[in-house]
Amino acid sequence: MSVSYKKLQHLMIEKDVSNAELMRRANISANIISKIKNGQYIALDKVESICLAMDCTPNDMMEFTPTKAEDGGTGAFLFCRRDSSTQYSLRSSHADGCQSASSLVR
């Protein structure tokens, strides 16, 4: 499974936020920016910091793309709200009980 932060990069362009500005707002290092650009995993606390800085949810900034063997060829995975708290779980987009991205709350 791979991760893509293209959504975050598009969001940064839309909001006119530079890498340096994101680093300042989210209190993240240049190493995290490098991982984002290279599609590498980042720690969940960094995802949270970026979401707070960009006023978005994890679904707004990233997506996981499984290989066909991992998900039966059905598509990407989503962060899904488990309850009314800020806890998220990772589920296949075709899994029962998975809410749409628009229904997620921070």
Q: What is the pTM of this model?
A: 0.65
Residue-level pLDDT at 91 = 52
Residue-level pLDDT at 64 = 87
The dihedral through the CA atoms of 101, 6, 40, 22 has a sign that is negative
What is the average pLDDT score of the chain?
A: 78
What is d(CA 72, CA 49) in angstroms, rounded to the nearest whole number? 33
Question: Where is pLDDT greater, at 86 or 34?
Answer: 34
pLDDT in tens, 13-60: 999 999 999 999 999 999 999 999 999 999 999 999 999 999 999 999
Distance of CA 29 to the CA centre of its chain: 17
What is d(CA 44, CA 84) in angstroms, rounded to the nearest whole number? 19
Has residue 103 got a pLDDT over 50?
no
Has residue 66 got a pLDDT over 60?
yes
Domains and CATH numbers, the chain: 2-99 (1.10.260.40)
Q: Residue 9 to residues 61, 70, 81, 100, 102: CA-CA distances in angstroms?
A: 8, 26, 23, 21, 19
3-state DSSP assignment of residue 11: helix
Residue-level pLDDT at 74 = 53
